[in-house]
Structure formats: C-alpha cells, structure tokens
C-alpha cells in the first residue's frame, strides 16, 4: 500500500514538477523568438500582436531571472539586444560597410558595439521587467517608467521607439497624439506585464489533471510561476506587498482582469475618437481646397556620397530629373500647386554661384523646370557656409512664384558614418577605418523651420506649347545659362496661358491667392519626434514635407522600416506628411498616420500625382506640449512610484 502511494507520488512529481532543464530550454528559445516577433512588429509586416508577443516573452525571461544577480540580468538583456538586431536590424553592418567604406570586420565590430550602446533601450526595459517582479507592488509603474526612459535617453543612429511596435494597430497608435510615440510604447509594455498578472491570477483557479496540461505546466515552470517569498532576495518585495495599500496590490482575480479590459477599451475609444476627428478635419480641408502635388521618385542611383568629379552619375541624374519633371508638368496641364524632388535627386552639387560644388547645368535645369511649371519647386542641394567654406550643409531649397527670394532649410541632425564621422575630432585615426564617411555639418544656428508657399485656387489647366511652338531658339544653349533657361520656361508658360504680354508674369489667376506653410524634415530627421514638433513652437504649419535618400540603407527591409516609423510624425502633429524619396518608399500619410495613397515601390522610378487636402489640420496635445510631453509622463510615474513607497516606509517606521 505504501509502495503504491510512493509510486503515485513519484509519477505526479514527474509530470507536475518543474523540469531542471525546462527553464534553460525556455531561455534559449525565448530570446530568439522575442527578437523574431519584434522584427514582425515593424514594417513591412507591422503586426501589433507580434510586438505584444515579443514583450511578453521578454517579460517572461525577466520573470525567470528575477531572483538572479544584476549581472545575469544585464547579460540576458544583451542577448535580447543582439536578437533584436539580428532579426530586425541585420542590415546595419552592411549599410555601414556600404556608405562608410569600411571593412567587413570593422562593420561587424561596430554592430556588436551598436547592440550595447545604441540598443540601450532594450537593457532599460528588460531591467524594468526584472525590477517589476522584485517589487511587484510597483510593477506596472516600473515597466512604464523604464520604457519611457529607454525611449527618451538611449542614444540612437537609426531611431526607433517601443511605440513603433504598435504601428500595425491604428487605434492604439493614436495615443501618439497625446504623448508622442513614447506613450503607445509604454502602454504596450504595461499591457505585456499586466497580461502576465492576469494570467497568473486565473491560472491559480484552473484545476486540471489532464496529462497535457500538467506537461505544459511543468515545461513552463519558473517563467510563468507566480512570485513568492521563498527566496531571501524577494523578502523586501514580499514585505512591500503586505504593507502597501496601493490599489494595484488589492486588485486580484476578476477585478484585475476587469481593470485591464477597461484600460484597453479606454485606449481604443480614444483611438476611434481621434480617427473620427481626423476624418472630420479632412472633410473640412477638402472644402477649403486641395493641393495638386507632384512627388518625384527619380531612382537615379544607389550611390550615397560621391565626388564632384563623378560627371556620369551627375549627368544621368540631371537627365532623369528634367525629363520626369517636364513629363508630369505636361501631364497635369501645368496646373500643379507644388513639385517636390527627393534628397540627392541631383547629388553633390548646388545652385549658389561662386560656391564650391556650384553646377551651372543643375541651376539651368531647375530654373527651366520652375519657369515652365510656374509653381513652387522644392529640391535638395549642397550649400557651403559663406564665412567658412569648409562647412557643407545638406539643404532643402524652395523656389516660389509668390516669393522673390529662395527659402532654405539646412539639415539639423546628420547620419553618423554617412554624413559625418563621430568622434573624429578626438580620434582622427577613425578616418582610416571609415574612409568614405561624410564631412557634412549640421545647422546649429537658428533658422526658419517652415517655408511659405503661395497657392492659387483658380490656376487653370493648360495645353503647354513645345519649345519650338513657343519660339525658343537654340534650346541646347539654355543649359549653360540659368537666366536664359528661366526666361525660356516663363515664355512657354505665358504663351500657353495666352498672357505673354504680361511682362511681370502677374497672371490674372494670381489675384486669388492663399499663403500656406509647411515644415521641413530631411532624410531620417522624420524619425525624431522632437524635430517634427519643433516647428510648432512658433509657427502653425499646414503640413510636413520630408525629402529623403534611403538608398544609403542598402536594404529594402530597412527602407520599409523607415517608412513605417515615419507615420508617427503625422499622428503626433495632426498634419499630413508628404514623404518623397530617391529610391523608395514615397507616400502620403494623413493626420491619423494612415496611407492616404498607395505608397511607391523600392528602386522603381515614378511620380505620385495627388490632390491632397493639406489644410486638414488636427490639433494634438503632443504638438502643444512639445518636449514637455515626455517629461510630464516621466514625472507623473515618478510621483506614483513615490506614493506606492509611502505605506511601506510608514510600516517600517512603526516597527
């Protein structure tokens, strides 16, 4: 009888107890799976469920290690960081090798350093999960706090945030209108931690002797076991649980689940409300008038940086730009309201006479396009500082018929190793490792962050005359004289309009004009929330334009990730985002972050010609608060954290 009981006990322990190898197996599988799911949360898949699954696994790994040492936690966080990089950002070493001209070995070493320095947010969030189990009474607050600290403090090259993992959940991403991309990311991390709490509460009430259930329970073992006070390392946490009067501690079972459901419903209701608000703004914007905008994706080359002597590349780029521009002007009947050329459409050169890199051909071609279209033309060029010619600026320039002088915006944040070499002033020998790294300069001085453009609602559609029909003689000579090319274009337009006698080109339809403003972002500046909202500090732009050259990424997946991450700038500001790229992906996003049109493909030349209600403005709390939005979120969590510590402090004093 006793032997039977012993056998039964041994059998039950073999199925219901924790296998000594179960935790190690979970550890080895959980890290790469978490990284894989993270990659699926970003574009092109953009699965919010994959993002949630990635964080749940990260949280479970932290639960498995929460009794371990601090150094073991850091090591696990580094492995997670490597996993994220290998599955989602595997293109980084190849990109560094491509545009910085370094060796494969140096690029690999850089990638390993990148996984530590530039993936610091992974370490911080994992530490937040780890601490949330050591101090469970403050678990949700700690997770949200560390997610925000990671997003706000971690240094970055290719900027990403935890909120990017939610880009596939349209309603969830609307939280960015309140607190920037930081808020949806913090709430996703809270949801992952909360899901664990709900799961463990309900699992205590599940009674099943089915062998499969017992095997699953045995295999999961420690990672999904509820925290207890068996370990001396968690005595303080257990005492904290018993002493605090925090609401979070008193929530148990169905109440815990109900609170989570209510929180999710509140987020979704806000999402519905913000999307509805945006739809109403778009309808109102259409009543005010839509701009006919041409966005050119010239796809001229995959070269990132070249030399002024690369004439073949420059010539082919210029030919593509002028042909594609004139084609869309002709197709639209010269009725365009704005033409946008991408970054590096005509590389290495500028149109400022007397400056290094000045190209008379580029100047003449753009002048002819501008004169023929008689519409605002936005393009990219290189400018040099008048006082210090060594300083080279990546510049966006606007020619506008309603404004006599050109308007310029110089890039404020440069791409490390692509446009400049970090720490070169302190370690000049780095140039020998990264020989092709750029030598551009950021614009640190005050400058206009918006551009003014004229919009003419009564602009007619024309049948443009050809060069011969307009009486332009010796057209080949135009490309050596910008002034002649400008006058030739103006002549073609004026004669096509039937107002050639108007010497000042004050055409009759221009008596009805409107002034609009748009903010500028160059290349990966559209990944930095602070840059997008900085234009709202003193101005109220109607929309945002981003011109970019993503060919330096050297990988289609990276271009898709860049496009997907940029959509948060439209949600944060409540403005349309017009994104024009050299090789893809170009597109238009509405103030809710949704694709307004089908985006372009990669490495495929083409032109987006669309009527865009850019006056559809939707005010957001984040644009109003600016950088204070992140600071307020962090301060509120610190206050809540302090409040949860008061009961435990009082209890210790009472003893």
Tell me: the pLDDT tens digits for 45-57? 999 999 999 999 9
Tell me, yes or no, if the pTM score tops 0.85. yes
- Per-residue pLDDT of 59-72, as tens digits, reads 989 988 888 889 98
**CB-hemisphere CA count at 13 Å for 632?**
12
Per the structure block, which two tokens stand in for 488? 């030739």
Average pLDDT over every residue of 386-407: 88
| Closest of 619, 600, 550, 634 to residue 280, by C-alpha | 619
Residue 529 has pLDDT above 90, yes or no: yes
Which residue spans within 240-306 are E strands per DSSP?
291-297
Rounded (5°) CA angle 334-336-339: 115
| Bridge partners (DSSP) listed for residue 296 | 607
Q: What pLDDT score was predicted for residue 17? A: 46
CA 349 to chain centre: 28
Residue 545 has pLDDT above 90, yes or no: yes
Greater confidence, 471 or 257? 471
Per the structure block, which two tokens stand in for 89? 């950002």
Name the residue with tokens 């005050």: 446
Confidence of residue 146 (pLDDT cuts 50, 70, 90): very high
| DSSP secondary structure string for all residues of 196-211 | HHHHHHHHTT-----H
Confidence of residue 249 (pLDDT cuts 50, 70, 90): very low
Helix axes 22-41, 211-220, angle to 10 degrees: 80
Q: What pLDDT score was predicted for residue 18? A: 45
CB distance 167 to 564 below 8 Å: yes
Q: Please, what are the domains in the chain?
A: 13-276 (no CATH), 289-619 (3.60.110.10)
- Per-residue pLDDT of 430-442, as tens digits, reads 999 999 888 899 9
Q: What pLDDT score was predicted for residue 245? A: 40
Greater confidence, 218 or 110? 110
Helix axes 139-153, 182-203, angle to 10 degrees: 150
């Amino acid at each position: 009888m006793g032997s039977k009981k012993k056998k039964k006990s041994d059998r039950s322990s073999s199925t219901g107890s924790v296998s000594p190898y179960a935790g190690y197996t979970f550890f080895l599988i959980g890290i790469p799976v978490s990284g894989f799911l993270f990659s699926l949360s970003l574009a092109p898949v953009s699965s919010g469920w994959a993002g949630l699954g990635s964080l749940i696994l990260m949280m479970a790994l932290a639960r498995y290690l929460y009794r371990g040492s601090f150094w073991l936690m850091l090591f696990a966080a580094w492995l997670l960081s490597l996993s994220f990089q290998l599955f989602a950002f595997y293109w980084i070493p190849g990109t560094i090798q491509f545009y910085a001209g370094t060796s494969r070995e140096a690029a690999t070493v850089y990638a390993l350093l990148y996984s530590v320095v530039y993936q610091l947010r992974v370490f911080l969030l994992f530490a937040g999960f780890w601490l949330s189990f050591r101090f469970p009474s403050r678990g949700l607050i700690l997770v949200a706090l560390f997610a925000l600290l990671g997003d706000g403090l971690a240094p970055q090259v290719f900027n990403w945030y935890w909120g990017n993992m939610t880009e596939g959940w349209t309603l969830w991403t609307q939280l960015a209108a309140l607190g920037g991309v930081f808020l949806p990311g913090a709430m996703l991390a809270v949801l992952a931690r909360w899901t664990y709490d709900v799961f463990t509460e309900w699992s205590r009430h599940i009674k099943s002797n089915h062998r499969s259930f017992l095997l699953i329970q045995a295999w999961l073992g420690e990672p999904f076991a509820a925290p207890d006070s068996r370990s001396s390392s968690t005595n303080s946490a257990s005492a904290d649980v018993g002493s605090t009067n925090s609401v979070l501690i008193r929530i148990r079972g169905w109440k815990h689940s109900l609170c989570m459901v209510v929180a999710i419903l509140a987020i979704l209701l806000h999402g519905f409300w913000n999307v509805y608000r945006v739809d109403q703004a778009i309808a109102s914007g259409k009543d005010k008038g839509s701009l006919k905008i041409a966005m050119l994706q010239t796809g001229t080359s995959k070269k990132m940086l070249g030399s002024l002597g690369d004439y073949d590349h420059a010539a082919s780029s210029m030919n593509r730009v002028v042909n594609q521009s004139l084609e869309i002007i002709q197709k639209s009947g010269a009725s365009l309201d704005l033409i946008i050329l991408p970054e590096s459409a005509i590389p290495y050169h500028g149109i400022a006479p007397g400056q290094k890199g000045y190209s008379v051909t580029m100047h003449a071609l753009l002048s002819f396009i501008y004169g023929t279209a008689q519409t605002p033309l936005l393009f990219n060029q290189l400018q040099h500082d008048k006082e210090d010619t060594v300083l080279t600026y990546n510049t966006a320039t606007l020619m506008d018929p309603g404004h006599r002088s050109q308007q310029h915006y110089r890039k404020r944040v440069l791409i490390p190793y692509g446009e400049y070499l970090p720490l070169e002033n302190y370690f000049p020998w780095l140039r020998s490792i990264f020989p092709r790294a750029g030598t551009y300069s950021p614009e640190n001085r005050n400058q206009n962050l918006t551009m003014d453009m004229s919009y003419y609602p009564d602009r007619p559609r024309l049948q443009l005359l050809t060069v011969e029909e307009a009486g332009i003689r010796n057209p080949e000579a135009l490309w050596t004289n910008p002034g002649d090319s400008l006058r030739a274009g103006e002549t073609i337009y004026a004669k096509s309009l039937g107002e050639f006698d108007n010497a000042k080109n004050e055409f009759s339809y221009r008596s009805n004009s409107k002034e609009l403003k748009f903010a500028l972002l160059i290349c990966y500046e559209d990944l930095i929330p602070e840059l997008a909202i900085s234009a709202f500090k003193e101005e109220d732009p109607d929309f945002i334009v981003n011109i970019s050259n993503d060919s330096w990424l050297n990988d289609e997946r990276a271009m898709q990730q860049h496009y997907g991450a940029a959509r948060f700038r439209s949600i944060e500001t409540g403005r349309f985002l017009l994104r024009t790229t050299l090789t893809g992906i170009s597109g238009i996003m509405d103030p809710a972050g949704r694709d307004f049109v089908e985006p372009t493909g990669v490495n495929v030349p083409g032109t987006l010609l669309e009527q865009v209600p850019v006056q559809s403005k939707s005010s957001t709390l984040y644009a109003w608060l600016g950088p204070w939005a992140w600071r307020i979120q962090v301060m509120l969590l610190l206050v809540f954290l302090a409040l949860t510590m008061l009961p435990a402090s009082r209890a210790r004093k009472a003893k």
